[in-house]
Every structure is written in C-alpha cells, then in structure tokens.
Structure 1
C-alpha cells in the first residue's frame, strides 16, 4: 500500500502533522501501537504558548493557572503571578483523542499497528509493521521518548531525565508548585489541577528521593518514564524521514514540558515537506532553529539553577519576578531570561 506520508505515533505531534499534510491533499496514514483513547503518563501541563496553535485550548483544558510557587527544599521563597494564564492542564487521554479525531476528520487514515522496521533509499521508504508493509515518500517519526525510528537512524539524545509520577487525592491548591534543592535534580512538582505529584532527576536513586521527599501517605499508582533531551539538528532526522516531539528529543531542558514543542515541531516538519519536498529535512533543520536555540538557552538556565539553587532563588530571582512571568507566558525567550540572570549574577558578584 502506498501513501504520500506515513506518520508513526498518534500523539500531539503525529496527529498535528498528519492533519496539516492531509489538508493539503496528501494521502496520510497514521500508525500507533495503542488504541485511542489511551492513557498517557504525563503531568499534562501545557505552556500558554500553545494558544498560537490551539486557540480553543481553554475549552479543552481541565484548568489553568496564573500563579507558581517556587521553593528551595520545601521553603517557599518566590511567587510568580501573571494576569493571564501561563499554563493549562489537560487530560492526555481526551486531549490526544481530540487531536487524532481532528486529523481523521481531515481525511487521514489510522491503523492500530506496531512499527517493526523500515528500509529507505533514494527510491523511497518502506515501513514494516506487525500487520502490513507500506511504501511512502515521507516518514514522520512521532513515536515518543522511546522512538523506534530514532534508534533505526542511530540518533541518540544528549541525555535522559528520569521521572517518577504519582496520583494524589489532594486538590486544595490552584497553583503550580515547583521545588528545587539538590544538585543534579531537576525538580519536584505538584500539579493539583491534574492531581499529580512528580520528581524529575538525572540521578539513579529516583525512587528513594521521591518517597523521602513526599512520604508514603496518599500516594497512588507510582509510574516512571524517561524524557530524552537534545538540541542538535542531528536529532531532527535524515532527508525524507523527520523526527518530531519527544522522538526528536525536543522537550524543554528546564521545564521538561514537551507538548508545546511537539506541536510546534509538527508544524515545522509539515511546512518543510510542503515547501521543500526534495529534501525536507534540510528545510526542517533551518526552520527548527528557534526551537533548538530556545532549548539550548533553557539548558543553560537549568545548569545555573541546578548547580546554584539557593543562590538562584534567593538572589537572582528576587526583583525579576515579572521577567520570569513573561518567560512562563511566552513573552520572553529563554535566551533573554538567561542573559538577564547572568547580568543579575554579575551585579550580585561585584557588590
């Protein structure tokens, strides 16, 4: 069977790319090993920037927030507040199903099949699943953090962040709560809106760290997963094979939010196929400069905060609350915030 494009993965990135290409008349097939709607382990926090691509996000979200409490070793030290929401909370089961249904309504096909392997050369791409094989001109890898396509292309992330997440019955807070207090540890988070607590760490003993921090009371169904991080053009694919979202390791290195960049990268990958069909990966590499630069500076910010958490909160952040709020909303880039923090660091050092 022949398709103009095969999309592997029906999450936000895959469904978005499929919808765009099908709207331009491409014959598109989406394959996924899961039957939708399906459960997806995720905090469900989406940055407000998503409104550029999903204007109706407010009606799709369970809740939103315009206030974050940042703390150091459970000591509240910084409140960030904005007039507009800087984050929305979605239930991935319904959110992803909505995006997939939108793609199907645009004429895409969907098959519940598992990718096994693929072959590719100058004549085209052949995709082999547990049920069929398909020939295609373009392949979009949207198969997530454990991407099979990324492994077939011998592309590796820069590093992996381990996470552990549990459900909780506590819903008595409308803020985003982030706590940082140990070197090499990204953060502990509490999203009451979705009833989840979590930890993100590059350390090995993540389970021990989690229960030491939260305790064993009222914790339900603990589950773990990895978030691959990279900000290199080498992670975007090869020629007619484009990687998007977590398959391309595009989660934000500091916040670890992946949904926005997944959908953003899907728009860029689709535009690359449409505008430069002979070598879309080359066009994609150019268009993705903004994501890669944002992630690079976000990584720099994370290095400052993770290595000097106390100093970052109690010294650098004081007086910069409005700038941090603008960063969360999307009005200020990670590059701008990085240089602002560096300037503050210099000023504090010479005093």
Structure 2
C-alpha cells in the first residue's frame, strides 16, 4: 500500500524545514526529502536579522543554542564614509548554517515530520495526488512544497528561468583577530554589492562579498580577507535569486524561499524570506479545501511579499548606484541622516517595509543633497 502524505517538502533548508515544522504543527502528515544528510555545509553569510529571530520565537523556536555571536552595532561603509547602526538588541545574530539548518530540521522532526535522503529529479502531478520522483524511490502526497533552493529542479519544471535575476556571492570562514562585537558591511570593495565581516566567536569570522551582478568574485574576496588582517579558509560561492519566479504555484505545487526567487536584492538576506514563505505555504495548505483554492490562496498571500522585494530591487539600484557610486563620491549619502539609519533598523526588525524607504532617500537627495554640495563649493 502506498504511503500517502498530506504534503511532501522538497528541501530541508530554512524554507523547507519551516514549512514542514508549521505543517506538522497544524496536524498534517509531512515528509521532508533532501539530497543531503544533515548537518551539511551551506555557504552563506549566516546573519539573522531581528525579524528572523522574532519569526522563530513566535513559532516557539528558541535560537540560543545555535547563535555563535551577535552584533548590536553595524558599520556601513560607502564612498561617502562610515555610518554606524546601533540598537539595544542584536541587529544581526550570527549562526553557522550547518548548525542552524540542522536545528530547524530537528525542530520539524520533533513536531512529527518524517525525513528521508533522496535526490528529487521531478514531480508528476495527477488528479488527486503528486508523485515526487527521486533517484531512489517515488513518493506520493496530496501536495508538494518545493524548497529546493536557487537551482530548483521544481521551479525549472514549472517553466521558470532560474538564472534570470540571480545575484552571486562568495564567502569563507576566516581566522584571526578583528572586530569582535561589530558587523561590517563595506560597499567600497565591489560594484553593485558589498563585502561583509560577521564575527562567529573564537577567532572565526564569516567574510564574504556579493553583487547583484553575476560574476566570480573569489579574487576580490581573498584580497579583502587579507586587507582586514585575517586568514581565509575554503572559499565557497552561492547564487542568490533576487527576482521572484514568473510561476511560483500550480494547483498542487508551491515554490518557497530561494526556489521561488524570494531574496532581498538590497541586503542579500534570504533566510527570513525563506522561513516566512515556507510558513505561509504550510498555513495556506492547512486552510485550503482544494488544489484550486490552495493555489489561489498562496498566490494571494505571497503577492505583497513579492511586491515588497520587487521594490527592494529598484532600491538596490539606488543604494549601490546613485547613493554610493554617484553621491558618495561627492561626500554625500542618505546613510548620513538618522531617519534613514533608523528606517534600515526598522526594516531589519520587520516593523517597516521597503515602500517607506524611497521617500527617505528622495527627500535627502532633493532637499539635502544640493545644500551639502553648495556648502562644499562655498567653503572650498
């Protein structure tokens, strides 16, 4: 007799584990399939924003055991200078992705989800069920939540061009002695992106570089690590999908996280959007009575997030282009005014959305920018 699940989750990263956790918590029979046995290595900056921590806490998942270090101060560097973000609570909490992802998967298993290791090569949708076709076996469920990452097999099968709108980042775990209680984001090391240094404790630092333009930035990363006085480890690259897929849902299949193209083009943050979309897909599934209703409900609930990230893409062009490359060379930046810095903190905490950002930058550019330029001319 075929073992029929309510939902199969393909991929056990943050989006998949969160979808499985929520679905199991809501009483659904869940199978997680991933090609790797966890824990496994995952190249990533490993920085959790306040909204990521809040989301997990709201779902009953505490992170204290897997947080390596925290930053209550974040230094942002661009052509206009250095700007400091500060908060009483950690702005960024740093995790090691092998530990963090395994912890989320374990949380889903504790909630009652099943987990098997298999490489899924496609899905076959029938009238009343879906076959998830693996290298080892075929698995049957009523629905599939595809969380199989930036190179998603399922996204491609739905007709998406998975290379469209993809950024690229490289990272390494470096060793040495640098700033231990501060996270650094430096836009001067690469065009249309930034480099970062996140402390992990015990002399370890997650150091990386990424851009919204696809490219091989290994050489720039190795130089950056050397310039800040650290020793690089193994360099790993990873794509970051920064534009939503054209098709993210069918009657019995939903894409979440990187598979759906849900990463922040301005910050490169993907973990929050992965977990959030995974939770939304599971919640939608539990409260939908038919495949048509599921597809409609998921699309309706995910659209505001897609619109927000679409706006973030255009904002990234302003942040890395106009503000950094143009105004920054004149010694001017929107980061110099407190309202912009506070807005960034609010976005990272989840208390504000991107539609509020452009007005802050526009006001600065139009009202403050000419005044600063004129003052510089008059005073030599």
**Match 1:180 to one of 176, 187, 190:** 187
Residue 212 of structure 1 deviates from its aligned partner by 4.4
SS at match of 1:57: coil
Match of 1:196 in 2: 206
Of 120-129 and 102-111, deviating more is 120-129
Of 116-125 and 334-343, deviating more is 116-125
1:16 correspondence with 2:18 = yes
Instruction: Report the structure number with the largest CA radius of gyration.
Output: 2
Q: Is the 8 A contact 2:346 2:352 kept in 1?
A: yes
Runs (4 or more) in structure 1 with deviation over 6 Å come to none
Q: String of CA shifts for 1:269-308, please: whole Å, max 9, x gaps.
A: 0111112231212111111133213212221221101112
Residue 28 of structure 1 deviates from its aligned partner by 1.2
Q: Is the 8 A contact 2:39 2:101 kept in 1?
A: yes
**Aligned 1:122-137 pairs, distance under 5 A:** 122-137=127-142
SS at match of 1:238: coil
**Match 2:313 to one of 286, 292, 299:** 299
Distance 1:156 1:277, change over 3 A: farther
SS at match of 1:343: helix
Alpha-carbon distance between aligned partners in 2 of 1:213 and 1:39, rounded to the nearest angstrom: 23
Alpha-carbon distance between aligned partners in 2 of 1:263 and 1:222, rounded to the nearest angstrom: 26
The CA RMSD over aligned residues, in Å, is 2.2
Alpha-carbon distance between aligned partners in 2 of 1:86 and 1:269, rounded to the nearest angstrom: 27
1:96 correspondence with 2:101 = yes
Alpha-carbon distance between aligned partners in 1 of 2:119 and 2:21, rounded to the nearest angstrom: 21
Match of 1:66 in 2: 72
Q: Is the 8 A contact 2:171 2:221 kept in 1?
A: no
Q: Is the 8 A contact 1:115 1:128 kept in 2?
A: yes
Alpha-carbon distance between aligned partners in 1 of 2:139 and 2:65, rounded to the nearest angstrom: 37
Distance 1:53 1:324, change over 3 A: closer
**Aligned 1:90-169 pairs, distance under 5 A:** 90-157=95-162, 158-169=164-175
Q: String of CA shifts for 1:160-193, please: whole Å, max 9, x gaps.
A: 1111111211343121111113774311111123
1:286 correspondence with 2:306 = no
SS at match of 2:77: strand
Residue 260 of structure 1 deviates from its aligned partner by 0.8
Note the residue ranges of structure 1 that are not aligned, 5 or more in a row.
none
**Match 1:226 to one of 215, 221, 239:** 239
Match of 1:40 in 2: 42
TM-score between both structures, scaled by the size of structure 2: 0.85
Alpha-carbon distance between aligned partners in 1 of 2:52 and 2:143, rounded to the nearest angstrom: 26
- Report the number of matched residues: 349
Distance 1:205 1:11, change over 3 A: closer
Q: Is the 8 A contact 1:240 1:281 kept in 2?
A: yes
TM-score between both structures, scaled by the size of structure 1: 0.92
Of 76-85 and 28-37, deviating more is 76-85
Q: Is the 8 A contact 1:115 1:130 kept in 2?
A: yes
Alpha-carbon distance between aligned partners in 2 of 1:331 and 1:18, rounded to the nearest angstrom: 26
Match of 2:267 in 1: 255
Q: Is the 8 A contact 1:50 1:57 kept in 2?
A: no
Alpha-carbon distance between aligned partners in 1 of 2:343 and 2:122, rounded to the nearest angstrom: 47
Alpha-carbon distance between aligned partners in 1 of 2:259 and 2:299, rounded to the nearest angstrom: 15
Residue 200 of structure 1 deviates from its aligned partner by 0.4
